[in-house]
Structure 1
Amino acid sequence: MSSQGETKSLSSCPFPCRMQKRLLGVSNWQSLAWKLMALMKRSVSGFLCAGSCLRCGILWHLKSTLSEYISKLDGVKLIRSNKRLGVIRGRMLGAARATGDVLVFMDSHCECHTGWLEPLLGRLATDRNRIVSPVLDVIDWKTFQYYHSVDLQRGGFDWKLDFHWEPLPEHEEKVRQSAISPIRSPVVPGGVVAMDRHFFQNIGAYDSDMTLWGAENLELSIRAWLCGGSVEILPCSRVGHIYRNHIPHTFPNEEAAVRNKIRIAETWLDSFKEIFYKHDTAAFLISKLYNTGVGFCADYRSAWDAAEGLIELSPCSDNINQHFEYNSMKEIRFGSALQFCFDVRHDKVILQNCTQETENNQQQWDVQEGGMIVHILSGKCLEAVKSEAEKDLSLHVCNKNENQLWRFDHSHVLDER
């Protein structure tokens, strides 16, 4: 049923084996219990093969309570992971265990309506190469007030690879035959998504090199379009979604989202990836400072301790100890919070709290086009010193030798996953 009053009937399951697979993400006990009951009551039983609840190391206190609760529900499986997988790898685990024809991934902070499932299955039955999503209505995160979406929109993204909603363009409005016609969308929202299980596996599933959560819906949509599929939002199916005004997790989730966007840029955008790097300055949080002569990267081994540690040389890796940023204030900053800066003590490069002083600043550096990094106050160059006795960064008279040639290399972030 659409908001405009048009109807479409789907009285029988269009899939021969009448199966459905559903994966649930867990956020807290109350929302999980409510959601499980809502799904069981509001999904036609003949369409349901098995529902799976994934618990991945976040809510350890629910171990026995959750097991007992799930054991009383027919057709629901509990999949456990000993470590935190995040959305992406959690969904991949659920998909690997699935046996039904269709996968439906749903976040735990959603509430479905009666009749939400049938339109998704019906649309997939006409073309197995589609990825479809319901219209996502808004549930207020404080009051749980439900707001029915009136204006239909589609999913899009910008050059920062951030998802956003956008009005339907005029040419898309013209090809729609009625108010309940499917909406072609560049990107599917990530909260609720359905697809043929074999199509999902054939196009490579989710990118296994993406971690935790962030931009997985964008990557899957790009993959579908480029592999001969399509992406649609179906007005006949509606699910409520709680949009939080904050993210309930901190680092490393924040950095994982940036990593995932870099992964998309490096994998799918070809030469257009440079536009992404120009627009998303946060992507440079995950830059390596690579020395051409030695072939190693700058590394801070005491990353979780206080500052005042020596910067060393180590083989380049994807470790957070090698994440640096050069900014417009001519500082070389370290880590996710970026509160530590390259400083100098007795010609050795160390990390200190960033001072942002304007005069006699030991923390200002000139990164030159040729690859040399000049310490502005002393006029000396940053040089990699690698011997049996030491592997550190020091200041030396500039002479353009290879050990004084550096580059901030964000493209190397993905090399050693």
Structure 2
Amino acid sequence: MLVRKRRRHGPCRRQALLALLALGCVLLLLGALHPPPHALPRAPPAPQAAGRSPQAGYRLDFGDPQEWLLESEEEDQEYGPLPPLVSLREDQLLVAVASPRAGRNRSRGGRGGGYRLIPRPHKQQDPAAPERDWAAEEEDGEDGEASEEGERTALSREEAPSARSPPHRRGSRHPLCLQQPPPADSLPTASVVLCFHDEAWATLLRTVHSILDTAPRAFLKEIVLVDDLSQQGQLKMALSEHVAQLEGVKLLRSTRRLGASGARMLGAARATGDVLVFMDAHCECQPGWLEPLLARIAGDRSRVVSPVLDVIDWKTLQYYPSEDQQRGVLDWKLDFRWEPLPERERRALASPVSPFRSPVVPGGVVAVDRHYFQNTGAYDPLLSLQGGGNLELSLKTWLCGGSVEILPCSRVGHLYRNEDAHSQLEREAALQNKIRIAETWLDSFKETFYKHSPEALSLSKAGKPDCTERQQLQRRLGCRTFHWFLANVYPELYPLERRPRFSGKLHNTGLGFCADCAAKEAAPGCAVMLAPCRDGEPQQRLEHTGRSAIHYGGPGHLCFDVRREQVILQNCTEGGPAIHHQHWDHQENGMIVHILSGKCMEAVVQENNKDLYLRECDGKASQLWRFDNVSTVDER
């Protein structure tokens, strides 16, 4: 009976043992798939700087070669509040990929879940393989022909980071730059915002690694990559995987096409450095490029600065250092171009490496204080995809109290492409941007723009853009008139036109008297007042050509000037910044505007005196003037 009973229950016991084994396997499998937090693979240690110097920058040591794929543990991540940038919407952000350090910080207590790092096998590189030169990259495509947007320089994403870094071009900077004192430890930090749309893989990675290789770690807060809805497959998962390996690099992706200005605003909203450095995705940074930009902004946070942009040929990738001092300017079609620095400004520089003013900042690389950028309205959010952001930023900076400069001791190579022909819609979008800039910033000079651009004039007749928000910004910031820009920043832009020339006595319409010197003998510092009009009186004979000085008719070479808002006589100046204190514009409505301040000349009655002062323009009778004689002359 016992034997029979043991045989009857034997299969049940075997089944129980098999069930226990199966349960154990399931538990082991679950443990392997979902390890406890302490068992998760750790990110590689933070790379250390090796022998950093202000000139050489630093290189990153990634340790054992491995790839890290960054995954979000939750589908809906929180990204925190956005800085108050105009028209920046959270739904423009599709996904954010952070560096391994950012992932660790987030998983240790950040909001909205954490990031999970998954190690993946990395293809080993042959240590004996020679390093490629940027100009000798293999061509992409089976037919051997160069493809669009620089893909002829395609670089395998399996190469080591060191092979992606282009050789630095020695000797680009002036020798005096090397004698500059080392940068102070108190320099502000920089966030480099690098936007791209279907950029060539090799060009994009070379730009990123040239920044990492040349920017001192103490000053480089982060690199913010902004993918402006790229369609190339290599710029999707492969780029996310590569960025996950880099310390201090984050990747943002937009859900819709934003254009250069919109993508830069998105990157600026996520940046945390003191200074924003907006850079195109096809650049090569030289050693020592970042420190001069940061030092110049540290001296005055209202400065918008740019390095000297050397030329990288888009076909051969040959590097051509810029020799002459070139500044960015605009023409009356509102197109950007380069021109040599005028001789008078070149002579005024303290040394060949002194920063110099530029009417327009080049869009390739622009550095600006982050808070100043946000507080002054950032880029115009209503500009379309077709450019114009650097021109609008430059005019806003100059007219609203800032300055634009180019720094010879900072050099960055920029790959200039041969622009393809734009479609009709793209050309119209570019014209719409120019119309918006003209209607916002050019005041009465917008008519000169329309005269030089008949296409823009025709397009504007269909409907003018709504510039209300930007004009409110002008009033809030107390911006100057475009007259001031022409007189102080770029007088060469004054159009050659028939301008009024005035002569004779200057009558005040409201009070019926004429401008005269308060003293019997005119001398510098003499206050200008109203006196009874007398024919043939040399001291009351004035000469004035529109938007220039008012010359006094008495002995000596004296002109109308301003001291503490009182109109006085001073020696006429022929050059330098003081000449702009003596620039006036007699407008058709009778008001005489002091171009530097934007205020009007007004006769102020005080007891027995009728002195001339600057006051806010309101069109009252004491601000209305007329000369005896009016003619026209062709000049700038």
Question: Which category of TM-score, normalised to the shorter sequence, fits these structures?
Answer: 0.5 to 0.7
Once the two structures are TM-superposed, the CA of residue 223 in structure 1 deviates from its matched residue by: 0.3
Runs of 4+ more than 2 Å apart: 1-4, 9-15, 247-256, 284-290
**Residues 1:138 and 2:308 aligned together:** no
Amino acid at match of 1:32: L
Given the alignment of the two structures, is residue 34 of structure 1 paired with residue 206 of structure 2, yes or no?
Answer: yes
Verify: 1:246 aligned to 2:416, yes or no.
no
Task: Determine if the alignment matches structure 1 residue 282 to structure 2 residue 455.
Answer: yes
CA shift at 1:285, angstroms? 6.0
Q: What is the CA RMSD across the aligned residues, in angstroms? A: 1.8
Scaled by the length of structure 2, the TM-score of the pair is 0.44
The answer to whether the Cα contact below 8 Å between 1:133 and 1:189 also exists between their aligned partners in 2 is: yes
Contact preservation (8 Å) 2:398, 2:404: yes
Q: Is the 8 A contact 1:219 1:264 kept in 2?
A: yes
Alignment of 1:9-88 (within 5 A): 9-15=181-187, 18-26=188-196, 27-61=199-233, 62-88=235-261
**More deviation, 227-236/250-259:** 250-259
How many angstroms apart in 2 are the aligned matches of 1:45 and 1:251? 46
**Is 1:6 aligned with 2:185?**
no
C-alpha contact 1:2 1:236 (8 A) present in aligned 2: no
Q: CA deviation at 1:2?
A: 7.0
| Aligned match of 1:198 | 371
What stretches of structure 2 of length at least 5 have no aligned partner? 1-170, 464-636
Over 3 Å counting, the alpha-carbon distance change for 1:57 and 1:252 in structure 2 is farther
Residue aligned with 1:92, SS: helix
How many angstroms does 1:96 deviate by? Answer: 1.2
What is the match of residue 223 of structure 1? Answer: 396
Taking a change above 3 Å as real, the CA distance of residues 20 and 248 of structure 1, as seen in their structure-2 partners, is farther
1:297-336 alignment, distance < 5 Å: none
1:156 deviation in Å? Answer: 0.7
Q: Which residue of 1 aligns with 2:299?
A: 126
| 2: CA distance, partners of 1:195 / 1:45 | 19
Do the aligned partners of residues 255 and 13 (structure 1) sit closer, same or farther apart at CA in structure 2, a change above 3 Å counting?
farther
- Other-structure match for 1:409: none
Deviations 1:239-282 (CA, angstroms, capped at 9, x unpaired): 11111122486454333221111110010111111110111133
C-alpha distance in 2 between matches for 1:65 and 1:2? 34
The match for 1:104 is 277
Q: CA offset at residue 69 of structure 1?
A: 0.8
| Residues 23, 53 of structure 1: 8 Å contact kept | yes
Within 2, Cα distance between the matches of 1:253 and 1:145?
30
**Structure 1 CA distance for aligned equivalents of residues 405 and 456 of structure 2:** 29
Distance 1:63 1:22 in 2: 21
User: Does the CA-based 8 Å contact 2:304-2:404 persist in structure 1?
Assistant: yes
Distance 2:348 2:390 in 1: 25
The answer to whether the 8 Å contact 1:277/1:283 transfers is: yes
Contact 1:21 1:104 in 2 (8 A): yes
Q: Distance in 2 between matches of 1:203 and 1:99?
A: 18
Code of the residue aligned with 1:23 in structure 2: it is V
Q: Deviations over 1:285-342 (max 9, x none)?
A: 634558xxxxxxxxxxxxxxxxxxxxxxxxxxxxxxxxxxxxxxxxxxxxxxxxxxxx
Residue of 343, 348, 352 corresponding to 1:179: 352
For residues 57-82 of structure 1, what are the alpha-carbon distances to aligned partners after superposition, in whole Å with 9 as ceiling and x for unaligned? 12351211111111111100101101
Contact 1:2 1:235 in 2 (8 A): no
- Percent identical: 57
| Bigger radius of gyration among the two | 2
**In 2, distance between residues paired with 1:275 and 1:242?**
33
Which has the bigger relative contact order, CA under 8 A and spacing at least 6? Answer: 1
State the partner residue of 1:209.
382
Shift of 1:13: 4.0
Shift, 1:174, TM fit:
2.2
How many angstroms does 1:101 deviate by?
A: 0.5
Letter in 2 for 1:12: A
- Secondary structure of 2:273's match? coil
* Residues 137 and 69 of structure 1, relative CA distance in 2, 3 Å threshold: same
Per-residue CA shift, 1:177-213, capped at 9, x if unaligned?
Answer: 0000001111110000001001111111101111214
Q: Which secondary structure state, in structure 1, belongs to the residue aligned with residue 176 of structure 2?
A: coil
Length-normalised TM-score, structure 1:
0.66
- The amino acid that maps onto 2:175 is G
Mapped to 1, the partners of 2:172 and 2:408 lie a distance apart of 6
Work out whether residues 435 and 460 of structure 2, in 8 Å CA contact, stay in contact via their aligned partners in 1: no
- The residue that corresponds to 1:349 in the other structure is none
Quick one: which amino acid aligns to residue 417 of structure 2?
Answer: R
Aligned partners of 1:229 and 1:23: how far apart in 2?
21
1:157 maps to 2:330: yes
For 1:10, the aligned partner's letter is: P
CA–CA distance in structure 2, aligned partners of residues 198 and 207 of structure 1: 16
Name the SS of the counterpart of 1:206 in structure 2: coil
CA distance in 1, matches of 2:345, 2:462: 46
